[in-house]
Amino acid sequence: MRSLAVRRRREWALAYALVIPALVIFAVFTFYPFIQNFKLALYQNPPYPGLPSHFVGLSQVTSTLTSTSFLQSLESTFEFVLLVVPIGLFGGLMLALAAHKKLKGMAIYQVIFSSTVVSSVAVAAVVFGTLMDPVVGLLPWLGLNPHPAILSNPTWALPAVAVIAIWQFLGLSFIIMTAGLQSMPEEVLEAARLDGARAPTMFFRVTIPLLSPTIFFGLVIGTIYAFQSFGQIDILIGPQNAAFTHTNVLLYYVYTALSVQNNPGLAAVLSIVLFVILLSVTLLQFRFLERRVHYASN
Amino acid sequence: MPATEVQATTRPRSHSRKATLKTVLRYAFLTLGAFIVLFPVYMAVVNSLLEPSQIAHQPPPFFPTNPQWHTYPDAWKGGSLGIYLRNSAIQTAIIVAGQLVTSILAAYAFAFLDFPFKRAIFFAFLMTLMIPFEVTVATNLTTVTSLGWFNTFPGLTVPFLATGFGVFLLRQAFLQIPRDLKEAAQLDGYGHMRFLWSVAIPLARPAIAALGVFSFLGAWNQYLWPLLVTGNNNAVRTVQIGLKQLLNTQLDQINVSLAGTIIAIAPLVLLLIVFQKQLVRSLTAGAVK
């Protein structure tokens, strides 16, 4: 009896020892700053750095949420997400369907299509920035030369950076879709084919429903990715650009509030908003879409 | 006309011709896709090899007629790329090693041990997946600065030494190990650590490799945190931030900037070719149940 209790307590001690390294990191660098945001949001920073911040209650929250720059930022963020996620998912699905066949050379196509996943945001921005440059880029040659240049053009700058994000997301989207296709039960497809299902019927009645958990996963991951993109904007546009107010997505706003305006209070308010949006979008996706998702075994 | 199996047996010729056409169309579509994906990178390589006088030429040159290979050593030296790549390598190695160790240990506890508050702690770990790092940067910057870690490798890496995703992934992998194996090992007198080292880790190797690749990509491509936490000297500045700098300082030398970009991406392209399988597995963990 006693030895059992001792053994149990030893197991507890071991378990805590194993869990503690990760727990400490999370406590210090995830939970503490997350909670701290709610406190920072109540304090306003003076316009000159170095002076102490003072308590203003919820007034900073309300003034931020009603400011034009915040509303503009919110609009840009949603426009960006709505461009990147559907196009990226659809493109990845098409490529995955085309490459999902036992034919010669498919392995090479698969490596090519998944390759954009390794490109960092900085690499993608530099590569596309050159192509979109009004002097050295391809646009004048294609007869497209908006004035002002595309990356300083209030109308076109956001779609332009969205193109870069789509290109980057295409690799991940392709990989997700390919894995989904590979895990589809062959027997079901074969049975449908033997039943004489035509290609479009196969696609909409069999492939898409069977693939719906994968598409759903891609949607959740893609949305989170799109909300967290801002490197392209930082490298190619920046706060001095004429198109800045139209490309200032929420996360970039957090960054500029923090390191350009030196205003942690504002950054905290924006961080909370970003978190709430991300959380609600994810929950909504689970609430309304996952019910339509077809899981093979139940 | 639908190309079903039944018709195929009755009219083999028209079916085979139709199948050939379909295959040709498939290859055409695949090649178009490959072109779209690779064209920007191809143009970056071409532009990196152009003479300065050719760069702004219209129509743009699509092939380097007189390749200027020296842009690569120029980028390496001028943009301090050697130092940046070294910094990125150190930063990535620390983060990958740290995440693997903390994830393996915690995942083992969640999969094989019983302890008070196990569910609550596991739930807290999963919560971290819902809090994007970006919403914690403001306070983390203060924390790291007050620890004296601004512009140091600890500052660059310590906040990332644990990952909720990794713990979750490895816990699932450990749970797939048959219970009998654990009991058999216990009868053979294996302690927990010995079982972890010589049974659990080898069996979960695919998931661990997948986590390694995932951590590597995440760490190497980090942008926001290195931008905030590295100072203006090159002590720990990573290659991603170096690229931004390269683009800013050498606008008249786009060929050199692009050469630098190609150098920065080369290690990852190699990684992709070698670890294609693990990459697919790691990125889709959870996609398929």
SS3 string, B121-186, reads HHHHHHHHHHCCHHHHHHHHHHHHHHCCCCCCHHHHHHHHCCCHHHHHHHHHHHHCCCHHHHHHHH
- pLDDT-based confidence at residue B2 (cuts at 50, 70, 90): very low
What is the rounded CA–CA span in Å between residue A75 and residue B202?
49
B97 and B214 part of one domain: yes
Contact A176 B284 (CB under 8 A): yes
A47 against B162, higher pLDDT: B162
Contact A167 B40 (CB under 8 A): yes
B174 and B60 part of one domain: no
Which of B109, B221, B276 lies nearest to residue A19, judging by beta carbons?
B109
pLDDT given for residue A21 in this prediction? 96
pLDDT given for residue B1 in this prediction? 39
Domain that holds residue B234: 73-284
User: By CA distance, what is B158's nearest residue in A?
Assistant: A25
Cα dist from B259 to A129, B41, B47, B153, B227, whole Å: 14, 11, 8, 27, 22
pLDDT at A236 over 50: yes
Cis peptide before A140 (omega within 30 of 0): no
Compute the count of residue pairs across chains A and B with CB atoms less than 8 Å apart.
290
B47 and B80 part of one domain: no
pLDDT given for residue A60 in this prediction? 84
Q: What is chain A's mean pLDDT, rounded?
A: 86
pLDDT at B92 over 80: yes
B17 and B120 part of one domain: no
Contact B132 A278 (CB under 8 A): yes
Q: What number of other Cβ atoms are within 10 A of residue A17's Cβ?
A: 11
A298 lies in some domain:
no
Nearest to A275, CA basis, from B99, B132, B236: B132
B141 and B58 part of one domain: no
A22 and A121 part of one domain: no
What is the rounded CA–CA span in Å between residue B238 and residue B231?
11
- Taking contacts as CB-CB distances below 8 angstroms, the residues of chain A near B159 are 25, 28-29
pLDDT at A291 over 70: no
Nearest to A255, CA basis, from B141, B144, B155: B141
B126 and B177 part of one domain: yes
pLDDT at B49 over 70: yes
Q: Which residue matches tokens 């007034």?
A: A59
Nearest to B69, CA basis, from B86, B43, B89, B48: B48
Q: Where are the alpha helices (DSSP H) in A100-207?
A: 106-114, 121-131, 157-182, 186-194, 199-201
Cβ contact B105:B162 at 8 Å = no
User: By CA distance, what is B41's nearest residue in A?
Assistant: A127
| Separation of first and last alpha carbons in chain B | 37
B122 and B230 part of one domain: yes
Q: Which range scores top for mean pLDDT: A85-94, B46-55, B204-213?
A: A85-94
pLDDT at B34 over 80: yes
Domain that holds residue A97: 69-292
Q: What is chain B's mean pLDDT, rounded?
A: 84
pLDDT given for residue A141 in this prediction? 79
Which of A98, A113, A121 lies nearest to residue B37, judging by beta carbons?
A113
B77 and B63 part of one domain: no
Q: Which of B94, B118, B136 to mutate to test the interface with A (most CBs of A within 10 A)?
A: B136
Nearest Cα of chain A lies from the Cα of B160 at a distance, in angstroms, of 8
Segment B256-279 mean pLDDT: 81
Summarize pLDDT for A114-163 with one digit per residue, the tens.
888 888 888 899 889 888 888 778 877 787 777 788 888 888 999 999 99
Q: For B170-190, b where at least 16 C-beta lie within 10 A, e where not — what string?
A: bbbbbeebeeeebeebeeeeb
B60 and B157 part of one domain: no
Q: Which helix (H) or strand (E) holds B256?
A: helix B254-284
A39 lies in some domain:
no
B101 against B168, higher pLDDT: B101
B100 lies in some domain:
yes
CATH number for position B258? 1.10.3720.10
pLDDT given for residue B281 in this prediction? 64
Structure token pair of residue A231: 């490197």
Would you say the C-alpha torsion B112, B113, B114, B120 has a positive or negative sign? negative
A130 lies in some domain:
yes
Domain boundary among B68, B94, B119: B68
A138 and A10 part of one domain: no
What are the strands, taking DSSP E only, across chain B?
none
User: By CA distance, what is A34's nearest residue in B?
Assistant: B136
The domain total for chain B is 2
A62 lies in some domain:
no
Cα dist from A35 to A41, B133, B155, B166, B215, whole Å: 10, 13, 21, 23, 26
What is the rounded CA–CA span in Å between residue A280 and residue A71?
18
**Percent of chain A, pLDDT > 90?**
30
A158 and A248 part of one domain: yes
Least-confidence region, from A24-28, B17-21, B59-63: B59-63
Nearest to A35, CA basis, from A27, A45, A43, A46: A27
A246 lies in some domain:
yes
Summarize pLDDT for A22-57 with one digit per residue, the tens.
999 999 999 999 999 898 888 887 766 666 777 877
pLDDT given for residue B4 in this prediction? 44
pLDDT given for residue B234 in this prediction? 77
CATH number for position A141? 1.10.3720.10
A3 and A146 part of one domain: no
Cβ contact A112:B34 at 8 Å = yes
Q: Which of A9, A10, A12, A29 to mutate to test the interface with B (most CBs of B within 10 A)?
A: A29
B289 lies in some domain:
no
A57 lies in some domain:
no
A149 and A13 part of one domain: no
- pLDDT-based confidence at residue A93 (cuts at 50, 70, 90): very high
B94 and B36 part of one domain: no
pLDDT at A167 over 90: yes
The domain total for chain A is 2
A110 and A254 part of one domain: yes
pLDDT given for residue A211 in this prediction? 85
Domain boundary among B19, B41, B68: B68
A131 and A208 part of one domain: yes
A206 lies in some domain:
yes
Contact B279 A117 (CB under 8 A): yes
Domain boundary among B68, B87, B116: B68
Cα dist from B280 to A80, A212, B111, B267, whole Å: 26, 18, 24, 18
Q: Which of A4, A115, A212, A255 to mutate to test the interface with B (most CBs of B within 10 A)?
A: A115
CB-facing half-sphere around the CA of A98: CA atoms within 13 A: 25
Cis peptide before B132 (omega within 30 of 0): no
B249 and B197 part of one domain: yes
A204 and A93 part of one domain: yes
Name the residue type at position B85.
L
Measured torsion, CA atoms of residues A51, A52, A55, A58, in degrees rounded to the nearest 10: 50
Contact A110 B289 (CB under 8 A): no
Q: Which of A24, A126, A173, A220 to mutate to test the interface with B (most CBs of B within 10 A)?
A: A126
pLDDT given for residue B5 in this prediction? 44
B277 and B168 part of one domain: yes
Contact A19 B283 (CB under 8 A): no
DSSP label at residue A230: -
Provide the whole-model pTM.
Answer: 0.84
- Specify burial of residue A7 (Cβ count, 10 A radius: 0-12, 13-18, 19+): exposed
- Taking contacts as CB-CB distances below 8 angstroms, the residues of chain B near A120 are 220-221, 223, 240, 264-265, 268
Cα dist from B190 to A1, B181, B182, B185, B200, whole Å: 22, 11, 9, 5, 12
A255 lies in some domain:
yes
Least-confidence region, from A133-142, A261-270, B213-222: A133-142
Contact B44 A130 (CB under 8 A): yes
A243 and A104 part of one domain: yes
Nearest Cα of chain A lies from the Cα of B132 at a distance, in angstroms, of 7
Structure token pair of residue A228: 């967290």
pLDDT at B251 over 60: no
Segment A190-211 mean pLDDT: 81
B51 lies in some domain:
yes
pLDDT at B9 over 50: no
pLDDT at B172 over 70: yes
Query: Which residues, 6+ apart, have CB-to-CB distance to A46 below 8 Å?
Result: A52, A53, A54
